């Protein structure tokens, strides 16, 4: 896997790290997937350049929401005692090597938290609770799903 960012010229690192992200501006997270090796990239600050992997452009994923998801993929959230419990699906999602939820990501104004899920493990996680946010779930077969609260 060789992921690269195509840019016109060499830019200093400060060009990619925007100071407003350090003071709590709302974060917008984009997810890209390689069509060859299926690597997943989370892009926090889009500078308008293209991502490539395995010699091909990476595909921007669009998250499926409540009206597009089935009972195996949409995150189910429970707020309890200062914690946010996330279970994937109303029915348990398969967690084999070939078909699994690989990560659950919580995005708020100030934070991005990621929980990697191993195959043969339940697709669940716990985050510190927030008053708002988006929870993304990535299935390596069916793509990206999102619920907002």
Q: What HEC string does 35-102 produce?
A: CCCCCEEEECCCCCCEEEECCEECEECCCECCCCCCCCCCEEEEEECCEEEEEECCCCCCCCCCCCEE
pLDDT of residue 1: 55
What CATH class has 75-148? mainly beta
Judged against a pLDDT cut of 80, whether residue 120 lies above it is answered with: yes
Greater model confidence, 38 or 15: 38
Mean pLDDT of 99-123: 95
pLDDT of residue 123: 97
pLDDT of residue 7: 38
| pTM score | 0.80
pLDDT of residue 142: 95
- Which residue is associated with the tokens 């707020």? 79
Least confident of 21-25, 43-47, 72-76, 93-97: 21-25
Question: Residue ranges of the domains in the chain?
Answer: 3-60, 75-148
Mean pLDDT of 58-73: 91
d(CA 47, CA 72): 34
Mean pLDDT of 102-113: 94
d(CA 114, CA 75): 14
Judged against a pLDDT cut of 70, whether residue 24 lies above it is answered with: no
Give the list of residues 6+ apart from residue 13 with CB closer than 8 angstroms, or none.
Answer: none
pLDDT of residue 99: 96
Judged against a pLDDT cut of 80, whether residue 61 lies above it is answered with: yes
Confidence grade of residue 70 (pLDDT, cut at 50, 70, 90): confident
Residue 57's φ and ψ, nearest 5 degrees, are -65, 140
User: Which structure tokens are listed for 146?
Assistant: 């999102």
Judged against a pLDDT cut of 50, whether residue 48 lies above it is answered with: yes
C-alpha torsion sign, points 113, 118, 120, 121: negative
């Amino acid at each position: 896997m060789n992921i690269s960012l195509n840019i016109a010229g060499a830019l200093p690192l400060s060009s990619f790290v925007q100071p407003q992200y350090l003071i709590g501006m709302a974060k917008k997270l984009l997810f890209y997937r390689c069509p060859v090796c299926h690597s997943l990239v989370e892009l926090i600050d889009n500078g308008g350049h293209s991502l490539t992997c395995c010699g091909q452009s990476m595909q921007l994923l669009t998250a499926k929401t409540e009206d597009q998801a089935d009972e195996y993929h949409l995150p189910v959230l429970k707020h309890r005692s200062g914690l946010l419990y996330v279970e994937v699906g109303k029915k348990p999602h398969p967690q084999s090597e070939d078909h699994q939820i690989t990560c659950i990501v919580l995005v708020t104004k100030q934070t991005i938290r990621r929980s990697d899920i191993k195959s043969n493990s339940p697709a669940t996680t716990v985050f510190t609770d927030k008053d708002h946010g988006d929870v993304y779930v990535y299935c390596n077969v069916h793509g990206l799903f999102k619920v907002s609260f």
